[in-house]
Chain A
Amino acid sequence: MAKQDLIAELGRFLPPASILTEDEDLKPYETDGLTAYRQTPMLVVIPETEEQVGQILKTCHRAGVPLVARGAGTGLSGGALPLADGVLMSMARFSRILHLDPLGRAARVQPGVRNLAISEAAAPHGLYYAPDPSSQIACTIGGNVAENSGGVHCLKYGLTVHNILKLCALTISGEAIEIGSEGLDSAGYDLLALLTGSEGMLAVFTEVTVKLLPKPERAQVVMAGFADIEHAGAAVGDLIAAGIVPAGLEIMDRLAIQAAEAFVHAGYPLDAEAILLCELDGTNEEVSEEIGRVREILTAGGAVSLRTAQDEAERLRLWAGRKAAFPAVGRISPDYYCMDGTIPRGKLPWVLNRIKEMSREYGLRVANVFHAGDGNLHPLILYDANAPGELERAEAFGGKILELCVRAGGAITGEHGVGVEKINQMCVQFNPKELALFHGVKEAWDGARLLNPGKAVPTVHRCAEFGAAHVHGGKTKFPDLPRF
């Protein structure tokens, strides 16, 4: 359908202010958090009611026009990257918390509600929404569900998929469906699991019911310094083997420590090769008991320094360094490229060593800052886009790291999604038959392939063509947000 005809069709049910067609209005939508990829959409629609969303979907479906849904656009894999011949649908106006049930511990919210806004609304009841991506002041719950986002507290409290109860969604043909239930059981297949992490390719969410948890009585963090990163990695396994499930368990290596300390003066030991931050939460008694055990285990595991935050201010200061690690690294290098692979925890020392070797081979520095408890690595490859060949080297290096993760028995993405960024590495992770099944799942929802086409699942043909790792980095788009 010609652009003008589509605009006319949409204009039947959308006010003019909800349809953007001019280049300067489209510009802000041309990229998400992965800014290396840019594409101006044919047009942008900003619906306000579920009915309008349904009509937009029906119109696109009838006209055979592809559609990409967008939350806050903080995604780091290009999931919300528009299509030149497609409609970009912003869910920004769906920003209301519809119902909060303190006794039943659930909140029903619109998809454009910011992650942190849910916890803020629940706070007066002593409750919160657990998954805490570091973009939580900006990212939306709709985007969180589409990416199955995580945060520092995943190890104990799970990912988005573990913390949502129910979804209302519209299919590409505009049909409304309700999935899941506050009652925990749900008849038929577990479509809640299938839609979580579906990267906007199966259906558009119009309402999300999330689980709220009681705020722990107390949280306390222990910081351990190590003389080498292998010992820090091994200590993670020791803690878990001792039956401790920390709320957060993070490692930073020397380069990251130096950069963060120079930036926020968190009080990190500058002579350490690695630090481990271990947060414990729970009842007062539980935390007291576990802090003692954690200190013993870390000492036995070769920690050369140990510090327990004595008050909330010190706890927040120790975390501030961790949360500012990405921008801190941004201060010591013109550019960096953030990876997101996961590995079995036991392989940490081996993989970190291999990354060190590859760092020498590629002649590029790497800072390691990661969710050690989950085995979710975020190696930051430092490069200078203005130095000839460095971007390409960083990309090749990044691709190799992801392939290394797969070889170690892990995955190419732990929380940022595949999007357009890691679509080639999908060919490393899955064989053609598995990819064909993913396409079958897509077809079950969206036979015409109009919802976010070309993302997340490569065609078998593309995989056949994919020779070398080819992944792209991006300059930071949200420099003021803390990063994990």
Chain B
Amino acid sequence: MMEPLIESFREAVLQAAASGQPLCLRGSGSKDFYGGAPQGAVLDLSPHRGIVHYEPKELVLTARAGTPLGEIERALHANRQMLPFEPPSFSPSATLGGCVASGLSGPRRAYQGAVRDFVLGVRMLDGRGDELRFGGQVMKNVAGYDVSRLMAGSLGTLGILLEVSLKVLPRPAEEASLGFEMDQATAIETMNRWAGQPLPLSATCYDEGRLTVRLSGAASAVEAARRRLGGEPVENGTAFWEALREQRLAFFAQGQPLWRVSLPPASAPLDLPGRQLIEWGGALRWLSGDIDGQALRGAVEQRGGQATLFRGGDESGDVFHPLSSALLEVQRRIKRAFDPHGIFNPGRMYRAF
């Protein structure tokens, strides 16, 4: 028998399917800004909350999708564990479901992996109102297609996440942050060179002529790396990375459109107007300013990358990097397999679905 809350979600799905009136799936709305404008009748998923199972020895946490991220992080913290992908929450009410659906990861991403790398299993409702489970609570599972990872970053367009199981990791025993003054090209080269050496790197950021790196691991390893790399110790490193993750640094407060550019990490500096902040060892470049999206996408594509209009700007066009027609067609068909009536978050990802 279904739990009453899930039954009510299911009824909403069936009704939407029957009436053709789409649903806007919402955790807390903390990521409403991301992707195409939300459309449809809001289905509030936040009441479906609570940690279902957390066994620190298993390194696995299972929680209902409406659980506030903060609650999960507190439970992990109490056991000296963490979400290794350091998701941004952008609001104290951000939920686990929204975190997985948006697929956004934080500063540790380039060194530990993204949300999708830590999703082990999901329980969900598809567009027929059927309750389905994929993956599970084990580290390795290759039975059937990997639907649970597919849900990460799908922006609620494939189904309603009910429960998610995540792999978690021990919190590093020690962390230290170092700062270095250098130009952008040197910073990109340095971040990549260091990433190719056995150093306990866990985050990098280049902003305003300054490279900041974080070291995480056993106390002795962090100390040894600190001696080796030099630089100046960063006071209050924890607060710095938290501000980066939540986009509270001055760079993000310019009130200009914000572009998220993804590039092969060692790519040379982008010679484009606007200000830039670099993360992920060079793989993630934020551009702030009144930027010609088409020109940006052209330049970025040539280097094997892509650009997303992250905040502000003209969101009437493609917010996400346009797909080739072959890829768009496959994705449209996948969408239809999950959501045959097209009721979940239409247009949130691409206008075609």
Q: Which residues of A line the B interface, CB within 8 A? A: 101-106, 125-127, 147-148, 150, 154-155, 158-159, 161-162, 171, 175-179, 181-191, 193-194, 196-198, 202, 212, 214-217, 237-238, 240-241, 243-245, 282-286, 288-290, 342-346, 371, 373-376, 409-418, 422, 425-426, 429-431, 433-434, 437-438, 440-441, 443-445, 456-457
Contact B173 A243 (CB under 8 A): yes
Q: Which residue of A lies closest to B335 (CB)?
A: A189
B287 → chain A, closest Cβ, in Å?
14
A344 touches B337 (CB 8 A): no
Q: Which of B259-292 contact A (CB under 8 A)?
A: 260-266, 280, 283-284
29 examples of A-B residue contacts, CB within 8 angstroms: A105-B265, A161-B146, A183-B263, A187-B320, A188-B328, A188-B331, A190-B116, A190-B153, A194-B146, A194-B147, A198-B145, A214-B198, A240-B57, A245-B170, A282-B217, A283-B224, A285-B224, A286-B218, A286-B221, A290-B218, A342-B140, A344-B55, A410-B136, A412-B143, A418-B144, A437-B338, A441-B334, A443-B337, A456-B144
> With A and B bound together, what is the CA distance between A373 and B170 in angstroms?
14
> Whole-angstrom distance between the alpha carbons of A103 and B171 in the complex?
28
B210 in the interface (beta carbon within 8 A):
no
Task: Mark each residue of chain B from 326 to 344: 1 if its CB lies under 8 Å from any CB of chain A, else 0.
Answer: 1110110110111000000
Distance A196 CA – B117 CA, assembled complex (angstroms): 12
User: Which residues of chain B are within 8 angstroms of A283 by Cβ–Cβ distance?
Assistant: 198-200, 217-218, 221, 224-225
Contacts of A411 in B (CB 8 A): 136, 138, 140-143
Q: Is the CB of B333 within 8 A of A443?
A: yes
CB-CB under 8 A from A441, the residues of chain B are 145, 147, 334, 337
B245 sits at the interface (CB 8 A): no
Residues of chain B with a CB closer than 8 A to A444's CB = 330, 333-334, 336-337
Contacts of B256 in A (CB 8 A): none
**Residues in chain B near residue A426, CB distance under 8 A:** 143-144
**Which residue in A158, A182, A196, A215 is a CB contact (below 8 Å) of B304?**
A182
B 290-341 contacts with A by CB, 8 A: 304-306, 308, 320-324, 326-328, 330-331, 333-334, 336-338
Are the CB atoms of B220 and A285 closer together than 8 Å? yes
Q: How far is the CA of A348 from the CA of B107 in the complex (A)?
A: 35
Determine which residue in B150, B221, B333 has the highest number of CB atoms from chain A within 10 A of its CB, and name it. Answer: B221
Q: Which of A179, A187, A415, A417 has the most CB of B within 10 A?
A: A187
A4 → B minimal CB distance (Å): 33
A194 to B141 Cα, complex, angstroms: 13
Contact with A along B125-143 (1 / 0, CB 8 A): 0100010111011111111
The complex places the Cα of A437 from the Cα of B144 at a distance, in Å, of: 10
The total of chain B residues at the interface (CB under 8 A) is: 89
If A103-B266, A193-B149 touch, does A289 touch B141 (CB 8 Å cutoff)?
Answer: no
Q: Is B349 an interface residue (CB 8 A)?
A: yes
B80 close to A190 (CB less than 8 A): no
Q: State whether the Cβ of B206 lies closer than 8 Å to any Cβ in chain A.
A: no
> Do A282 and B140 touch across chains, with their CB atoms under 8 A apart?
no
Partner-binding segment picked from B64-72, B89-97, B187-195, B236-244: B187-195
Digit string of B98-134 for contact with A (CB within 8 Å is 1, else 0)?
0000010000011001101100000000100010111
Which residue from chain B places its CB closest to the CB of A234 in the assembled complex? B57
How many angstroms between the C-alpha atoms of A298 and B266 in the bound complex? 43
Q: Does any Cβ of A come within 8 Å of B7's Cβ? A: no
Interface check B51, CB cutoff 8 A: no
Interface pair B130/A197, CB less than 8 Å apart: no
Question: Nearest residue in B to A216 (C-beta to C-beta)?
Answer: B198
B196 at the A/B interface (Cβ < 8 Å)? yes
Q: Given the complex of chains A and B, what is the CA–CA distance between A416 and B142 in angstroms?
A: 8
- Closest chain-B Cβ to A191's Cβ sits at a distance in Å of 7
User: Separation in Å of the B160 CB from the closest CB of chain A?
Assistant: 14
Contacts of A445 in B (CB 8 A): 330, 333
CA A290 to CA B174, docked complex, whole Å: 14
Q: A103-B193, A342-B139, A441-B337 are in contact. List 4 more A-B contacts (CB 8 A).
A: A162-B113, A243-B170, A286-B200, A441-B147
Give A428's nearest chain B residue, CB to CB.
B143
Flag whether B246 is at the interface (Cβ < 8 A): no
- B153: shortest Cβ distance to chain A, in Å? 6
| B138 near A185: Cβ-Cβ < 8 Å | no
A161 to B141, CA, bound (A): 11
| Residue B219 at the chain A interface, CB threshold 8 Å | yes
Instruction: Please give the distance in Å from A422's CB to the nearest CB on chain B.
Output: 7
- Nearest Cβ in chain B — how far from A217, in angstroms? 4
Which A residues lie within 8 Å of B219 (CB)? Answer: 289
Cβ–Cβ contact B266 & A101, under 8 A: yes
Q: Collect the chain A residues with CB atoms within 8 Å of residue B189's CB.
A: 103
Verify B149–A127 contact, CB threshold 8 A: no
Instruction: Tell me if B161 is interfacial: C-beta within 8 Å of chain A.
Output: no
Q: With the chains together, A162 CA to B60 CA distance in Å?
A: 17
In the bound complex, CA of A410 to CA of B266 (Å): 40
In the assembled complex, B152 has its CB within 8 A of some CB on chain A: yes
Residues of A within 8 A of B322 (CB): 187
Inter-chain contacts of B207 with A (CB < 8 A) = none
A154 and B140 within 8 A (CB): yes
Q: How far is the CA of A197 from the CA of B145 in the complex (A)?
A: 7
Q: A430 CA to B131 CA in the complex, in Å?
A: 12
Q: Measured between alpha carbons, how far is A288 from B283 in the docked complex, in Å?
A: 33
**Contacting pair A127 B196 (CB below 8 A):** yes
Residue contact A237 to B169, C-beta cutoff 8 Å: no
